[in-house]
Amino acid sequence: MLSTAEVISDIFESAMADDSGCVKSNRLVHTAVSNAEVITELAGDKDALSLAWRFIVLQTIDTYRLAKQRGGSELAQRVFTEEPKPTGYPAIDTALAALAEWFANQDGWQVPAWAADRKRTVVGWFPLVLEFERARALNDSPQEFKKRGIFVTPEGLARA
């Protein structure tokens, strides 16, 4: 089994080797589905859930924003067209649904049916939110996350 450092290194090297980004000639190279497949590399790691947030959810934010920059909302929404397979972590599956709805509402496209499934909820998950920031996360989480039981700060969804 790989250590956390080895998993991160492998993911980073893989991303660096793919110089196409997430879009190549108006075709997506990465989607929520392909990003979710990273979970197999994290299996058994004691920090798998927080790593999954970083390498699946945050990577999907980057994928969407790059696709939107290169091809507009029409291309970017395709990041969420296909339903990702269950990751084995309901919180991550729920976060991907919340993310799809969040972007759909921001950019004016229809939420995919899989993301609207009411079963995609968890009870009070605060991914990467420090204890002292939980009250702010409860208050400031986007509704798409909050209604599913996920509480994040605005910085938790911001990417450089």
What's the confidence (pLDDT) of residue 124? 93
Is pLDDT at 9 greater than 70 in this prediction? no
Rounded average pLDDT over 129-150: 95
What's the CA gap between 7 and 2, in Å, rounded?
6
CA dist., res. 97 & res. 13, Å (int)? 28
Helix (H, G, I), strand (E, B) or coil at 82: coil
Average of per-residue pLDDT across 57-76: 92
